[in-house]
Every structure is written in structure tokens, then in C-alpha cells.
Structure 1
């Protein structure tokens, strides 16, 4: 054996040991700041069951196991929220840091801590002690990412837990993006034209199935704000690029940030099923855990970096959630004093001085960078954080900055998540709740993200209550920039969503939510960000079929890949496409036969699903791109639910102006656009598959999912860090949500980030994550649940407070002397 081979082998052994040194070892005992002996058991999937004598010891141990399995993931989340990524990854993260310093999640967390209840403080302190005990006792056994980036974790702080929660709220807040897209459309095509691009529906089904009323009413507009919006177009576009860069850097690459959740009454009790949809990646966003003490027995999904269980069950009830899709952000145009740029015109009409804050961005291997942030009484000047001064860093081509615009106007914002709240207290009360009224009471301190919280009780009750707040808006259009100098346009306060009422034990026997519209009433205004009603329709239709619902039925439903949206869309398009057969060749006619036979099941082995997906992509492009242009089209379609819902509405208006190709002299309509899109779709799909035989165009070949690690972009690390690609079915309009970007098909960007099913008559809970418990790529539990997730399998977890024989003792904490 040559010396070179020996060195390679030795290096490989060293690398494996380095990358696996933080793996938990069976039966480790150590002294710790606990009141009495606290034990951590794990099953064959590494899922921990913590048994502690007190709740404080319980949350201490939760912090410890979170750090043991996901410390680097936790550290990245808090660094993102604090705007401190550049310290460890270098200049590439400066944009993120500057943006996050302006959003000021650290300041929000400090304010939350000041107003936090005694219970919240106690929980966060215990959890923080657990995280820091792990960091302190394992400085030489940290996850490999710390060594790779040559840094170590700083002590965890209670505020870090709150920052992690606000980062999640930011990911679920789509209005940060859509309002800027609409503002760009207003600047380009005029304020009145924006209504062509905002969907009005969907209609039923509703989360709160109340009496129908009129649809959303357009808000008033301000002509001065409209003119200023047009003048601000380059700055708005720059801010849009910044938010896009931030979301991409953070792995927030999809827009269908929602969930499915339903609770069903059964003969013996009730069943709850929950599967939130978030951007795909490794390690998973969720962490399975079982927490048991004499006063607490809860099992389910937790968020690394936060205590308690987010979706799960106790001995009396189960709970899950979905995104309400609230429009929780508004941007405001601020008028700068023309005589002195240090002043602006406040909403009271007075000339008011900006407040300035100098901040320091520490950059790895480089000198620090000083930034100056301006603030009004409303917020930081968010338009200051784009890179119009160095546009080549954000744009594919150089763009010239219009310097005069920065001296006449600027943008601020309001976000519901900036307001003081106590989500930790709310979640604690839910974890301890024994009945539905206790859950309704618990959500009173919850502000963001806004959630539909559904409950299934052992008594057989099922119910839904909304958690979160919405703005009490003034007279400005909530989709567009509001005039900051007009007091009538500003927010007047907040309305808690639980005041809208609850849904309890409906006659149909179930409650459900799938990011569909909350209720049919126009007031109060909740938003227009809802997902197409397709998933909600399919869930409700399926639930009506069962007489005695079981866990197995719920498991099958969570993997369902039938799209009512696709069936409804094709029902309107197929007659048009059949009329165009004189323009088709043999391949187009054969593809049309397949499409006509297709039943809307987006299976990996179905060519009809491929043809439909390509047709939909071309139809949306040909309808919207000619008016918007390529870049604004990308911005508009980033939140996929917007063009999907608008497209479905436009199919009922075949002569709508958007079907007219603005680049031609004649007037086109839906029929012209549909046939053109179909021909393009068939030919593009043939090119992709390198085959003119449509029956060979299997959807799974086209539509795949890859789970990337943050280090997975490196070609040498990709095979170890990333998992996939895997063929997968579904789309954003199926219960098994597998969203791709409309403007960049067909790789999956969003999928079920976990699945959990709780039968309140059963002694086990069923759950699965797309990965595993561990965040370490060479750990056996890094991806050991992934194949289960892909194939509809689950990990069976007992709910009893005492671990059964499937669990093995891993860690014992004894009180420090």
C-alpha cells in the first residue's frame, strides 16, 4: 500500500471522527443544574423522551437535546435574526445582516422579554440553561460546521428563542413580498391596472364556515401616493431584490408556506392530522420529542431553538395549525423635507427629524463595516437597506441609480410581528390545556405568525380557533404603498383573530384548514394571500366519504395527490384545445388524448400530469409576461398562489384584457392564448424528455425533490450533505403539497415539513420528518426517516409518560453538588 493511499485513509478516518464526534452516546451521566435526576431516553430513530421531576428540569433537558442534535441549525437561525451571519460566513451575508438589522428582530425580542410573563421567563431560562450546559460541556465535540467555518457558538440567551420564533414568522409572511410586487405593477402600468393582477377569491370552503356576504371591497387610493410610487419604482425594485436575496440565503425558496390540518370526530374519540408546508432542506425544520413530568406529558413536533411542542398532543387533546395567510405588512411612502433631508413629514403633518443609529457589521476575515440606519416613528427606513449604490451585487445586469429619488421619498413599514406579544405563554397553555376553551383562552397572547389552531379532544370534540392579530387599517389600499404623511392611511391598532369566533363540533363531523379563506365576510380585511381552495376542497370531499375515520385513513389522505384545481382548470380548457386540432401535429394530438383521459392525479408515473404541468406554466407565462416583462413577471409569480388563483378567475373571462398580447396589433383572447400555450407546452416537454412519444413523459422524471444542506452546494460535500433527487408526485394544489416555482419548474421547493397524526383513543402518535432527528450528515439519524416520508410511512411513538421497551436510556442528569 502506497504512502498516499495510507494518508487518504487516515484523513478519511479523521474526517469521519471529526464529523461524528458530537453524536450522542448511550448512557452518559453528568451533574447539571437540575433539582433531581432527569433522564433522556431515545428510540431506534433517535427520538428523545425526556422524563423529569419538574417542568423546569423538563425544559432544561429539552434545551440540552435540541443543542445536542441541532446546535448549528439553532445558531444559524439566531444569527439570521440578529443580523450576524457575516461574522461567520463573510461578505456574502452582509445583505442579509443589514436587512435584518433594519427589521430589528433582536429589538423585538428584547421588548418581548420586558413584557414576558413570569411563566415565560421561567421556561426560557430553563431551556437556555440546557442549551448552555451542552455548549459548555462539549466545546471539543461540537457539530463539524463550527470547525468548517472556524468559529464557536456564543452562549445562548432567552431572547434567542424569541428571535427564532420571529424568523419563522418572517418566513410565513408573504406580504413583505407581494406588496412590493403590486407597487411595481402600479408604477409600471398604473394604479388602476393593479386590480387586474389581484385575485378576488377563493370562495368556499371557509375555515370558519359562517354566513356568506359580499366579497372584498377595494380600498381608497391616494393620487399623491400613486405619483410617488411611480417615482420610487427603482427603489421598490431594489428592495424586492433584497428580500429575494434574503429569502434565498435563508433557504426560504418557496411561497406555499402553509399547512393542512383537520380534526375528525370518531365513534371513540377524535383524530387530528397536521402537515405544515415549508421550504425543503436538511436538517428538517421540526424535531420530534416527548416531554414527561408529573404535571406535563406532551409529545409532538418542536422547533429547534424554542421550548415546548408546536404541534402535538397531551393526555386530553391534540392540536395542530395552518397559516391564516394574513396580510400582516404594509409599506408607507415617507415624504422627505425638500429643504433638509434630515427631516420628513410625519402623519400629523409636522416636520419631524429622522432618528439615526450607527451599527457595526462584523465580517469574517475583513474589516468591520459601519452602517447608518434611519428611523421614523413608524420603523426603520427599509428602502435604505437595498444596494442601489452597488446594483451589480443584486442584479443580473447593471442598473443606474436615480439619486434624486432617495432625497425626495423613502419607505417605512408596519408588521404585526413587531408588536409585543407572548407566544411562549400561549404555547405553554396549549401544551397544558385539558379542553377547547382553554385553548381559546391560550391564544390571547399570540400575535405572529397568525395561525388556524385546530383541536381534537379525547371527549370527541373538534374545533378551530384563530391565533394572531390583523391590522386595523386606515383608508389606504392594503396592497399598495400608503401615504405616510396622511394619518387616515395609518394603522389604528390591532384586532385579535380569535374575536372572529370559533368552529366547534360542526354537524359534518370535522373541522379543516388548508390556507383557504377564513370566512366570506369583507370586514375585517384579513388579506388576499390565500392558497387556491383546491387542497381544502379535496380534504373536505375525502372526509365526507368516511363513516368511521381511522389513523390509516389520515395517513392515506396526507399522501393524496389528486388536484381539484387541475380538474377544474382542464374542464374549461379542454373544449378550447379540442377546437384547435387543425393546428396540431401527431404529437400534439396524441398528447391531447392523454390529457383528456387524465383524472387530475399527479402521480410520478402519469404522463398526463406532465402535460398539464407544462400547459399551466405556459398559460400563466403567456397571460402575464407580455404586460409585466420578465423580471416583474418573476416577482409577481414568486408567491405562486397569486397567479394560480388569478388564472382560475380569468378562465371565466375569456375576453379579458390580460389575454391580449400587448406586443401584437390584433386583439387576442383566451382561446388564442390557450392553444398557443398548449402547443408550446407539448414541444417543450418533448425537448425535455428527448422523446416525441407523450406516453413516455412520466411526471416523476420531470418533478423531483432534493433536500439540500447549507453546505451542499460544494461539489465534494453534496453527496454527503444533500439527499436526492427523488421522483415525487403532487403539486401546490394537492394535499401532498410539492410546490415548484412557477417561473422555474419543476423542482420541488416546498413540501410537507413534517406529518403528525394523533388519535385521542390510541396509545401512540404517528409522525415523520423529511430527514431525521440529527443535524449531523454522518449520523445514522440524519436521514433515516426520509424514505418513510417519501413512501407515506410513520414513526410510531407511545404517548405514555413512562418510556416503553422501544426506548433506551441515553443520558442522566443528576443535581450539581
Structure 2
């Protein structure tokens, strides 16, 4: 062998060995970050002792002497499995992301400092009850025990970003609760977007774009509106960028839940089910836990950062939640004096509350800014994605009133809910649940079912949706809140079931609740399924939760086919497409081509109906909340004619059938260009897939393979019970392409963040599943061990009996106080 070949082989072997050695060392270093599941941990901050048993999926049962020790153990567990997730959430709420991420997160910090989430949490902590304070302190001690002992072995993300977490405070848990309220607070997006639509096309035309807007209801728009119109839209852009940064994307932020009473259950006892729809991420939103102590016995879904079972059950009752979609924020155009110290209201000048604050930006130092408040709330018009960097200084003055900035005590509500024994105690607990507004469905072991709308609803002067108010008068100020006793409630209805899918709460109500209800498709299908048989089983509920049939698709397709009646078709593919649609059962299953045809058609139907009036930029704001175009298209197709169908850019006057036909032809062209001429290649699962993305997604394709979970083909869409939303905004962000953004335009970004089913006739077991797993550590076997089951509609069955759980457990960790001599 030639000498140079020997050297080449030698160096190749050396480099391979070196790479293996580096990989091994890296793996060992990363593995050190895995949490301790067995053994004993001592700490003088725990009152006595808590024993944590874990099953094969890392689901823990906490057995503690007191509720404070249980809270300590839950804090320790959350920190073990989700510390980075918790740290990012509290940093966001505190406005401290830029300390580690630099310039790119400065607008987010400015936004949350201005909105005032951390300040509200701090003031709230001073006012909470003694029990809540004790549990928050105990929980914080558990988190801090892990932070103390994990020094140098924090989750990998901390090392990659080059920082260490600071101590957890009780107020941080209140910030987590407020951040959840912010994530679910979307009604103001439509307020602001429609204000800009009015600026472009006028009040009357804009009113036509609002779904279900009463014909004679006024739009309260100040004459000075045009001057200030740009400000709140920048708030939307900043908030949208923040949600993209943290993974809180998607706008079908709702849920499904239902319960049947014993008379509608094959088992003779109530059965309850829930699947909240939230943005997908890795790790996921929830952490499942069972808690056993003298005062606190409950099991279900917790949010890392909060010491409570948010959704679940105890020995006597079970509960489920969906978003009320409450309109809980308003904007006001303010008249500010030239030195920005006073504002004009009711004929007099009043002093602004002026505060100076600062954020620290990595590698740049401190940036100071001024926050101004009226009696309603902060002036938010200075929030702009690039203002901190570009130093722009527009004179824009709009204030924001949000229920999340008031004192509320959802944790007390949750603690009381975890301990409630019956309907009366359930009602009493929910009196304190205010934000985010939630529909609570109830069932108990005695056979009862019930419903409560728990939300802090502003009492406004009118019961109609509004846009931006005139701030120079208090006529549009909130007149307090709707009393809890007046909120909609339901107990043991004659039909034997209760269901909620973010649909309209009640037909008539003296106060405005919302104008952003979800399309009725999901609740129609759930109701159809619940009425399809006299008695239901847990297996039936499983099938319902994974159902891909869309009543909305049925309605649109029927209208589309009518539009092609008596039309001569010459194109072979168009004829085939129409035949597929005629024979479709409206099941959006991944292996079918018809859902792809329908979904492309829906996109072009929205585009061809609204873009001529709004233009390519404003239509992206119109579709921000997907339920708005969904519902408006449904309304329009129910009419024989409507001026919105006319394309104002052409000389002829188009009608409904013209737009339906054009939209299908455009959809066909899109599919042929992007996926080939043969419809065999148009399976929905190829176009519509789901990936559970880590926050670091996109840094490199190699890293994505390690930290992301997926992609997987998936069925459904935003109108199916198994909600698999794709982003309308992404669809309308065409870039340089003629037909839709080609970079995964129909990617599933939001859906069931968990599923659970509980049958009171089988009280010792609960069924649940999550999209990813319990752990936030990407090398943990529990980072993705639930994904396949979630995709397949399967559930993890957890025994609730202590002895059985212990017997089946695979890990035991003891947390106890240090022994003293």
C-alpha cells in the first residue's frame, strides 16, 4: 500500500475516533442533565416528607403529609422536567427575555413591561389569601431546591444560551397564570384589525365583513381615528412575533369538552371528556400528576409554574374546560397634552401616571423608557417591533383596558376546585375564577352534570361589539363587571348531556360576551355524535375525540357543487375533482385526496371574496383570527347574492357561483403546480403534517432532528372535532410565489394539547394522553413517548388507587426534611 494511502486511512480512523469520543463526551454531559427519579433528597424547607412514585411514562403520584409538602414536591417535579419552559415564561412576563436573547426580544420586553403583567402579579401577591400564599411559598421552595442542587447540570438550553436560572419567587407563579390569560386573550386582535379595515374601506363596507354583526348596531369610531390607526396594529405585530418566538401560535385557541349523565351512559354513571386546543410545541403545555395528602387529593393536568391541578378530578367530582372567547379588552384614543403629562377626559385635564422603567439588553446595556397610564390602563401605542432599535418617535396615544390587569385570584379558585365535593362547592370555587374566561363542565359521582361560564365580563354601556373608543369621555368606560350570579349556568339538563366547543354561550344575554365564537362545525359534529345513540361508552368518547368529519366542509362543498350544476366541463382533472367532491363523506382523513382539494378551494374562496376589497396586506390582518373568515364565508354562502362576491378589480359583476367556480379552478391549478398533475399524489397527509417544535427549532436541520418531534401526516382541519389548525396568515404570506407560500402552507400548528376521559363507573382509573411526553429534556425517553399514542387515538391508563399505583411504579424518590442532631 502506498504511504499516502496509509496516512489517509490513519487520519480518517483518527478523525472518526475523535468524533466518536467527542460525541460520547457530549452525550455523557447532556445525560447528566436528566432528572433524578430515585433515591432521597433532603431539604430543611420541606415540612416533613413527600414520596414521589413514577410509572413507566414518568407520571408521578405525590404522597405527602400536608398540602404544603405536596406543593413543594410538585414544584420540585416541575423544575426537574420543565425548568427551561418555566424560566422562559416568567422572563417573558417580567420583560427580561432580552437579557439572554438580545435585541430581537426587546420589543417583547417593552410590550409586557408596558402591559404590566409582572407589576399586576406583584400587587396581587400582596392581596392573596393566607392559604394561597403558603402553597405558593412551598411550591417556590421546591423549585428552588432543584435550582440549588442542579448547578452545572441544568437543562441543555441554559448551557447553550450561556446563563443560569435565578431563584423562583411566589410572584412568578402568578405571572405564569397571567401569561396563560394573555395567550388566550385574542378578542382585541379583531378589534384592532377591523379598525384598520374601516380606515381603508369605510364603516359600512367594514360592517359587512364582521360575521353575525347586527344590522343596526353602531360602530363607535372617533373622528380622529385615522390619525392614530397605525398604533394598535403594531401591537398586534409585536404580539404575533412574540407568539412565533415562544411557539404560542394558532388562533383556534379553544377546546372540546362534554359530559353525559348516567341516563345517557352505558355504564350508568357520568362520563366526562376534554381536549383543550393550544399551540403545539416540544415540550407540550401540560404535566400530568396525582396528588395525595391529608387536605389535597386530586389528579390531572398541571401547568409547569403553577401549584394546582388545572383540569382533572378528585374523589368526588371531575371538571373540563374550554375557552369562553370573552371580549375582555378595549382600546381608547386618548388626547394627551404636548408634554405628555396629562390627558383630557370629561372636559378636564387629568394627570397621567408616569413611570420610568428599563430593560437590560444583552451586549448593549440598559435601555430606559417611559410608561404612561390613564385611569383605564397603559398607553400601548409606543409598542413597535423596531422602535427600540430604530428610535422612531411617532406621536401615537392609545390606551388599553384589559381584565388581566385587575386583581384576580384564579389560584384560590383552583385550590377550592381541587377540593370541591359537590355542585354547591364547585359553584363557590368558580366565583374566584375570572381570567382567562373559561367554560367549566362538571360531573360528579352522584350522577350530576353541570356547566358554569366563569369569566370577568366587563359591563359596557352597549351589548354590541365595538372597535376603538373615544377616550375623551368616560361614557365608554366599563361600569364594573357582570356579577357572578348572573353568569350562565346549567345543571342536569333534560337531554342528559352538556357540550362546549367555544360556540356561542347563550342565545340572549344582557351583556356582550364575545363576537369571536368559533365556527359551529365542531359543536355541530359533537352534538350529532351525542345524539347518534341513546347510551355512550368511554370507547365512544375516544372515537368522538379523534373524529375528522367536518360539517363545515359539507356545507361549503354542497354550495360548490351547486355552482357547477349545468356547467359543461372540458378539463379532465376538473371533472375528476368534482366527482371526488360528489362522493366525499367530508372525512378529512390524511390518506384522502379530497381534503386537499377542499382546503385549497377554501383558501382561494377567502382570497377571491375578500382580497379585492382589502388588498394583499390588510387581508392578512382580516384572517388573523381564523374564525372570522370561516364564519363570514359560511354566512355569505347562505345568501343568494352579496356585493362581496363581486370582484371590484374587474369590469363585470361577479356573483356567488362565479367566485365558487373560479376558486375551485384556482385550487386545481395550485395543486397541479405544487404537487403534480396526478391527483393520486394529493393526499392530505402529504400536504398537512404536524411537527412538535422545540423553541430552538430552525437553528440547524441536524439540531431539529434531535429536538423536534415529527413531522407526521395528519388529518382534520380547524373545523373538525380533532382540531388540526393550519395558519391562514401563512397561506396569505405568498412571498415571491404566485400560488401560496410553498413552505408547508398547510402545516398543522395547533390542536389537542391533551385528551382525557373519565368514567365514574370505573372510578379507579383515568385515561389521558398528550402530544409529546412528561419531560422537557430532549434526550429523555419521556420527551416523546406519548406521541405515537396521541396520533393513533390511544390513551395512557393510570390507576388512581395508591396501592396499585405503587405496585406498578418503576421509580421512587423521597423528599424529606434534613435530620437535626
Q: TM-score, normalised by structure 2?
A: 0.93
1:191 touches 1:226 (CA, 8 Å); kept in 2? no
Report how far residue 544 of structure 1 moved. 1.6
1:259 touches 1:322 (CA, 8 Å); kept in 2? yes
Q: Distance in 1 between matches of 2:695 and 2:46?
A: 35
SS of alignment partner, residue 623 of structure 2:
helix
Report how far residue 343 of structure 1 moved. 2.6
1:235 touches 1:388 (CA, 8 Å); kept in 2? no
Give the corresponding residue for 1:278.
278
Q: Distance in 2 between matches of 1:176 and 1:129?
A: 37
What is the number of residues matched between the two proteins?
Answer: 786
1:328 touches 1:470 (CA, 8 Å); kept in 2? yes
Report how far residue 476 of structure 1 moved. 9.3
Give the corresponding residue for 1:814.
816
Please tell me whether residue 231 in structure 1 is matched to residue 231 in structure 2: no
1:471 touches 1:493 (CA, 8 Å); kept in 2? yes
Give the corresponding residue for 2:716.
730
Give the corresponding residue for 2:798.
797
Please tell me whether residue 7 in structure 1 is matched to residue 6 in structure 2: no
Between 532-541 and 287-296, the greater mean CA deviation after superposition: 287-296
1:486 to 1:478, Cα distance in 2 relative to 1, 3 A? farther
Please tell me whether residue 768 in structure 1 is matched to residue 753 in structure 2: no
1:349 to 1:17, Cα distance in 2 relative to 1, 3 A? farther
1:89 aligned to 98, 101, 118, which one? 101
Give the corresponding residue for 1:708.
693
Mapping for residues 123-202 of structure 1, pairs under 5 Å: 123-200=135-212
2:46 touches 2:138 (CA, 8 Å); kept in 1? no
Give the corresponding residue for 1:626.
612
Give the corresponding residue for 1:358.
356
Give the corresponding residue for 1:367.
365
* Superposed CA offset, 1:83-140 (max 9, x none): 1101111111101100011111001111221221111111111111111111111112
Give the corresponding residue for 2:48.
36
SS of alignment partner, residue 414 of structure 1:
strand
Give the corresponding residue for 1:696.
681
2:235 touches 2:381 (CA, 8 Å); kept in 1? yes
Report how far residue 446 of structure 1 moved. 1.2
Report how far residue 191 of structure 1 moved. 2.1
Give the corresponding residue for 1:75.
87
Between 446-455 and 258-267, the greater mean CA deviation after superposition: 258-267
SS of alignment partner, residue 384 of structure 1:
coil
Between 4-13 and 752-761, the greater mean CA deviation after superposition: 4-13
Q: Distance in 1 between matches of 2:117 and 2:37?
A: 38
Q: Distance in 2 between matches of 1:388 and 1:634?
A: 20
Please tell me whether residue 421 in structure 1 is matched to residue 432 in structure 2: no
Give the corresponding residue for 1:20.
31
1:37 touches 1:814 (CA, 8 Å); kept in 2? yes
* Superposed CA offset, 1:372-413 (max 9, x none): 2222222111001114757989xxxxxxx8x7xx44x51101
Q: Distance in 2 between matches of 1:303 and 1:681?
A: 41
Give the corresponding residue for 1:54.
66
Q: Distance in 1 between matches of 2:388 and 2:567?
A: 50
SS of alignment partner, residue 260 of structure 2:
strand
Give the corresponding residue for 1:379.
377
Report how far residue 37 of structure 1 moved. 2.6
Q: Distance in 2 between matches of 1:812 and 1:678?
A: 63
Report how far residue 537 of structure 1 moved. 1.0
Q: Distance in 2 between matches of 1:217 and 1:419?
A: 34
* Superposed CA offset, 1:197-253 (max 9, x none): 11118xxxxxxxxxxxxxx5764444xx43322222333433332222222222122
1:551 to 1:475, Cα distance in 2 relative to 1, 3 A? closer
Q: TM-score, normalised by structure 1?
A: 0.93
Q: Distance in 1 between matches of 2:269 and 2:537?
A: 11
Q: Distance in 2 between matches of 1:320 and 1:714?
A: 37
2:326 touches 2:455 (CA, 8 Å); kept in 1? no
Give the corresponding residue for 1:105.
117
SS of alignment partner, residue 798 of structure 2:
strand
1:444 touches 1:496 (CA, 8 Å); kept in 2? no
Q: Distance in 2 between matches of 1:778 and 1:771?
A: 13
Task: Name stretches of at least 5 consecutive residues in structure 1 with no aligned partner.
Answer: 202-215, 394-400
Q: Distance in 2 between matches of 1:496 and 1:689?
A: 55
1:160 to 1:561, Cα distance in 2 relative to 1, 3 A? same
* Superposed CA offset, 1:733-782 (max 9, x none): 11100001124231111110111111122111011111101000111100
Give the corresponding residue for 1:322.
322
Report how far residue 805 of structure 1 moved. 1.8
Between 603-612 and 472-481, the greater mean CA deviation after superposition: 472-481
SS of alignment partner, residue 365 of structure 2:
coil
Between 442-451 and 549-558, the greater mean CA deviation after superposition: 549-558
Give the corresponding residue for 1:524.
511
2:53 touches 2:806 (CA, 8 Å); kept in 1? no
* Superposed CA offset, 1:625-681 (max 9, x none): 111111211111011001000110011224212111121222211111111101000
1:27 touches 1:811 (CA, 8 Å); kept in 2? yes
Q: Distance in 2 between matches of 1:84 and 1:601?
A: 46
Mapping for residues 613-762 of structure 1, pairs under 5 Å: 613-690=599-676, 692-715=677-700, 716-743=702-729, 744=731, 745-762=745-762
2:324 touches 2:502 (CA, 8 Å); kept in 1? yes
SS of alignment partner, residue 565 of structure 2:
helix
2:68 touches 2:135 (CA, 8 Å); kept in 1? yes
Give the corresponding residue for 2:250.
254
Task: Name stretches of at least 5 consecutive residues in structure 2 with no aligned partner.
Answer: 1-9, 732-744
Please tell me whether residue 343 in structure 1 is matched to residue 354 in structure 2: no
